Amino acid sequence: MKITVFAFAMSSIMVAGAHAASVTNTDPGAQILIVTEGSGKIELVVEAGATVSFCPAGCFITMPSGDRETLNGSESIDIINGAAVIK
């Protein structure tokens, strides 16, 4: 529950970014991304059907599958059947 509240608060703050990566979860359940920006690391919970903006200035993310990617802040990610598709 604490993680969900934290993720909601972080996503509310990060939605304000005009140039940021976004992730859309098309799965029926919540998915968790690990986002590392600078020296900070957070668990970003993306609820089923939700779209969240994050990473306005570049970051590293660990996908639900365990894959790691580097983002510059302009990518769009879809989570489909537990796998992330970066556009």
Token digits of residue 75: 């990518």
- Per-residue confidence (pLDDT) for residue 2, from 0 to 100: 54
Find out whether 62 and 52 touch, Cβ atoms under 8 Å: no
pLDDT score of 5: 47
Q: pLDDT tens digits for 1-58? A: 555 545 554 554 444 445 899 999 999 999 999 999 989 999 999 999 999 999 998 9
Q: How far is CA 41 from CA 27, 34, 69, 87, in A?
A: 24, 7, 14, 23
